[in-house]
Amino acid sequence: MLNHLPRLQNPGSFVVVSVSPPTDYAGLGELHSHIPNNLFVHWGKLAPKEKAKNGAALMHSKVFYARSGQECWLWTGSHNLTGNATQGGNCEAAVLLHGDADAQPFQDAFAHLVACRDQATLYDPDAPPPGDVERANVLVIHAEADDVNGLTFPLRVHLCLNSADFDSLLAPPADVRLFIYPSHSLQSGWVNANPLIALSGYLTGQNLTGRNPTARRAGTDAAWAAANLNIIESGGVLRVTRPGPPGPDVTTQAVLFIDGRASGRECFFSQKPKAIEVPVLGKEYWTEVDPDMARFFSREHVQGNHLLHIPIIGRDQQISVKGDEVREVDMQKLQQEIGSPERLVQLEFDDEDYSSNAKRHPFILRAKYRLR
């Protein structure tokens, strides 16, 4: 089609493309760069959907219409614009007409193309994820404390866990961000709480005690006297406490070196925020269906002798992030980075809970991406 750009750029010219496979939506970007106001995409329908793997209804026309004054050319058939289709390799047919633009076949074809365009929307290039998200390796810890006054740096902190299920999260090296919250504020999760202070540092070591199933008899407790603070599991949350020997159930100790305050404005993610498409649905309507054909459609789309139609009239582009990894302030920052109120932040939640089998801790995150 790039060979016909001068004609496609003319006022009144347009291209309508179905976004159903095998169309590569992002691949339309090159064509869009040449005809930004003349490239339309047809989204098909959410319903009706066939029981077989044929999927939902879509725009399936292959029609090419060209006119110069009253002289008109029409090409329609079962073909796609592949080499085998256009050069006769495939066993398929195309009808080629040449005549006056007022002749009925040309008028009908043009009316059909206009109808396709009216059901379509202008091509909108794929929106990239936030551009300032960078790769990172950060151990993020959320813990409560009775008091944060009087902290002096550097600090050596032992994080003590009662389960070996999270040993992989605590493997050095890594940067560290330690968020400290008021006592009793983490019972509903850290995303709903406001930290008193954010600290930065490094994960410098990991120690497996004799109660760790991996270490067994080779394990030993880290020297607690070297620590300025401990972080322990208590009442279902992490708590910052005075230094002391690890409790009787501790299996793993992470050795943290905290050298100062952090900005507290960084956002951390275990997975990279991604751009996703959410269909915008049009008004539903019903049409009659042949009784002998109704059985081929999904039951929820058939009512008596009527067939449900749910057109897709466009899409919303959203940024998808894991819902258990962002606070309200993080969402606001993402929205600022996106720079468009139309592109919302969608939160994805896992069905799994924070069980030992999930290998995830509700107050510890090994972040792979960061938005400063």
Residue 245 lies in a domain: yes
For residue 6, the number of C-alpha atoms closer than 13 Å in the C-beta half-sphere is: 1
Does residue 165 sit in the same domain as residue 76?
no
What gap in Å lies between CA 26 and CA 271, rounded to an integer? 22
Does residue 143 sit in the same domain as residue 113?
no
What gap in Å lies between CA 370 and CA 133, rounded to an integer? 5
Residue 359 lies in a domain: no
Does residue 95 sit in the same domain as residue 204?
no
Spatial contact of 176 and 258, defined as CB atoms under 8 Å apart: yes
Residue 173 sits in which domain range?
Answer: 137-261
Task: Residue 329: name the closest of 221, 198, 141, 202 by CA.
Answer: 198
Specify which residues 202 forms β-bridges with: 175, 257
Task: Residue 265: name the closest of 205, 337, 338 by CA.
Answer: 337
- Six-digit token pair at 323? 């819902």
Does residue 53 sit in the same domain as residue 26?
yes
Which of 261, 280, 303 delimits the end of a domain? 261
Which of 70, 89, 122 delimits the end of a domain? 122
Q: What is the DSSP string of 143-177?
A: EEES--TT--SSEEEEEEES-GGGGGGGPSPEEEE
Q: What is the DSSP string of 275-315?
A: EEEEEEE---EEEE--TTTGGGB-GGGEETTEEEEEEEEEE
Does residue 6 sit in the same domain as residue 62?
yes
Task: Residue 186: name the closest of 152, 237, 222 by CA.
Answer: 237
Amino acid at 341: P
Residue 342 lies in a domain: no
The two beta strands, 133-145 and 174-182, are parallel
pLDDT in tens, 259-272: 999 988 888 888 88
Specify which residues 252 forms β-bridges with: 161, 208
Residue 231 lies in a domain: yes
Does residue 152 sit in the same domain as residue 84?
no
What's this model's pTM, rounded to 2 decimal places? 0.61
| Site of tokens 């749910």 | 310
Does residue 86 sit in the same domain as residue 151?
no
Residue 332 lies in a domain: no
Count each helix (H run) and each strand (E run) in the chain, helices first. 5, 21
Does residue 256 sit in the same domain as residue 146?
yes
Does residue 109 sit in the same domain as residue 199?
no
Domain count, the chain: 2
Task: Residue 1: name the closest of 47, 33, 45 by CA.
Answer: 33
Does residue 170 sit in the same domain as residue 102?
no
Query: What is the pLDDT, as a whole number, of residue 108?
Result: 97
Residue 76 lies in a domain: yes
Which of 92, 122, 152 delimits the end of a domain? 122
What gap in Å lies between CA 118 and CA 115, rounded to an integer? 5
Instruction: Determine the distance from the C-alpha atom of residue 50 to the mean position of all C-alpha atoms in its chain, rounded to a whole number.
Output: 28
Say which DSSP state 22 is in: T
Does residue 44 sit in the same domain as residue 155?
no
Spatial contact of 347 and 326, defined as CB atoms under 8 Å apart: yes
Question: Which residue ranges in the chain fall short of pLDDT 50?
Answer: 349-358
